[in-house]
Amino acid sequence: MTKDKVLDARPDDDQFDLTLRPRLLAEYVGQEQVRENLSILLEAARRRDEPVEHVLLCGPPGLGKTTLAHIIANELGVAIKVSSGPAIDHQGALGSILLNLTSRDVFFIDEVHRLNTVVEESLYPALEDFRFDAVLGKGVGASAATLPLPHFTCVGATTRQGLLSGPLRDRFGAVYRLDFYTKAELEKIVGRSARILDIEIHEDAVSEIARRARGTPRIANRLLRRVRDYAQVRSDGRATVDVTRHALAKLEVDEIGLEPLDRQLLETVIVKFKGGPVGLDTLATSLSEEPETIEDVHEPYLIQIGFLARTSRGRVATELAYRHIGLVPPAPATEQTRLL
């Protein structure tokens, strides 16, 4: 199966995501500082009639990194080629993509921190000097060749900037970090998505979804679609606030957006490990989850809202976490207790 076929074989929710994504910066909600700086970058490149410098987008999943990559291509009026770190598993795969780019195309690499070392080192000259160093043939007859590349723009996206090597990070001329969205920003996103999907939704229902969306547009749109399903099957199709609350209760999404695994994580730290500290691998084993899932998907929001803290010794539950799951936080240790 070719890469193009893989991209075409998307589940329905991903197809909806494509329709809900804004196409231009003017349509993009939130991330004001990033939007302004990116707008300046694009306009300066247009005025100089030059390709845009390589861009690195960082931040938790679902905040709009892929959307911004497509917006960059749309704003420039060029094609975008999409791949990901794990998919580019050897030098030949990278070369095939690079040699098929045309001038000023955008090459988007999702999960760029997951490129293997050989591929990453082959990417360096492509990003810096727009050339691809290839080895032609095998064995004693092999020879090195340098192939010129068109001037393109690479947009990398990563949820874990700290895992990027220094040489790769330094080859991106513009680095932007995306933060969680405010409730007001999410309300605008949910309202826009509801209009696109032709959902009759009340303003207080929009607010309810935004409040439980964990500061993440992708989650807001997912919850909106599930509310639409519930409204059509269990009600008259209108997403009132009561219908919305019932739908989200069925999904076990609580008042601040925590899902079952979030609450299970907090309960594990608090009950099984007495509030912590507990190491990531130990916590993952207790939850039968991958450490990367906990670290990339669940922890960022729990840390953002002050329910979990990372320390040098491991994860620690805060007083807010105890109160949220209905437990009394432990009394602070006295000086005499600490000495004992």
Distance of alpha carbon 176 from alpha carbon 65, whole angstroms: 10
83 contacts 97 by C-beta, under 8 angstroms: yes
Distance of alpha carbon 302 from alpha carbon 218, whole angstroms: 17
Q: In what order do the strands lie in the sheet with 80-84?
A: 80-84, 106-110, 153-158, 55-58, 174-177
* Beta strands in 42-90, from DSSP E residues, in sequence order: 55-58, 80-84
Residues constituting the chain: 340
110 catalytic residue (yes or no): yes
Residues with Cβ within 8 Å of residue 268, at least 6 apart in sequence: 278, 283, 286, 287
Q: Structure tokens of 111? A: 């999960």
Distance of alpha carbon 215 from alpha carbon 160, whole angstroms: 18
3 catalytic residue (yes or no): no
Across-strand partners of 32? none
Catalytic residue among 65, 104, 214, 226: 65
Strands 80-84 and 55-58: unpaired
The candidate with the shortest Cα–Cα distance to 41, out of 82, 81, 76, is 76
Residues with Cβ within 8 Å of residue 338, at least 6 apart in sequence: none
218 contacts 17 by C-beta, under 8 angstroms: yes
138 catalytic residue (yes or no): no
Catalytic residue among 21, 104, 114, 218: 218
169 contacts 57 by C-beta, under 8 angstroms: no
Helix (H) or strand (E) holding 219: helix 217-234
Catalytic residue among 17, 67, 105, 110: 110
65 catalytic residue (yes or no): yes
Catalytic residue among 67, 153, 158, 159: 159
Residues with Cβ within 8 Å of residue 251, at least 6 apart in sequence: 223, 226, 259
Catalytic residue among 66, 158, 216, 268: 66
228 catalytic residue (yes or no): no
Distance of alpha carbon 73 from alpha carbon 80, whole angstroms: 6
List, by residue number, the catalytic residues.
Answer: 65-66, 110, 159, 218
